[in-house]
Amino acid sequence: MDDSVVIALFRHGLTEENKRKAYLGWNDSPLCPEAHNLATTRTYDCYFSSDLNRCIRTANVLFPNEDLFLLKNLREMDFGKWQGKTYEELKTEKLYRQWIEDPFNIVPPDGESFQQFSKRVQNGWNSVIQEILTKNFQRCAVITHGGVIKYLLAEFAPKIKEFWSWRVPHGYGIELIFEREALRRRERCILLQEVPLTGKEHG
């Protein structure tokens, strides 16, 4: 399908802070040892990544020696003062409990609203699409965060599902297949397919 474009979305590997279920947001954390064993046989024409180190490191594991286009707009939501904290540490705070009940309208202290996050991610996506269309790429990869991928799937997956309905584990990859003109018009893709990720062979 010469008129099709494949955009693969990869969530970064599990980090030490993810293990303890902390909100990372714009903070960062080293990848866990098992994340360094991720591997894929897929290759792409270009590679975009969040500029946070956990995504850059994951990109280097999956696609060694490839150049990355780093985009700050592809960062996870900024959780403000809640970054680095867990549910157990926050559950007694009234504003946090309100946010859990209504995350689309309640804003973390010193953080982003969902509307600000959505607009930023959309701007990042527009940058990716502009590069793809200008250079006529057919297959591209985006290494980013769970919240970003959920937003993009909610906006562009063939079947309409809400943001919170998508399950995006660490070290997960999914390809969105678009008709090129539909991509230009920012319409939904025609097909989703999971990218098989495996552990590297030792020895």
Query: Which residues pair with residue 38 across a beta bridge?
Result: 199
The sign one gets for the Cα dihedral 30, 14, 115, 140 is positive
Residue 59 within a domain: yes
Residue 23 within a domain: yes
Residue 46 within a domain: yes
At 182, which helix (H) or strand (E)?
helix 180-184
In which domain, by residue range, is 183 found? 4-76+113-199
Low-confidence ranges of the chain (pLDDT < 50): 201-203
Q: In this predicted model, what pLDDT tens digit does every residue of 115-160 receive, in sequence order?
A: 999 999 999 999 999 999 999 999 999 999 999 999 999 999 999 9
Residue 189 within a domain: yes
Tell me what pLDDT residue 196 has: 87
Tell me what pLDDT residue 203 has: 34
Tell me what pLDDT residue 202 has: 39
Encoded tokens for 181: 């003109």
Encoded tokens for 7: 């955009």
Residue 89 within a domain: no
Tell me what pLDDT residue 77 has: 98
Q: What is the pTM of this model?
A: 0.95
Residue 47 within a domain: yes
Q: How many domains does the chain have?
A: 1
Amino acid at 91: K
Residue 62 within a domain: yes
Average pLDDT score over the chain: 95
Tell me what pLDDT residue 198 has: 80
Residue 109's SS3 state is coil
* High-pLDDT (> 90) share of the chain, %: 95
Residue 96 within a domain: no
Distance CA 116, CA 107 (A): 10
CATH number at residue 137: 3.40.50.1240
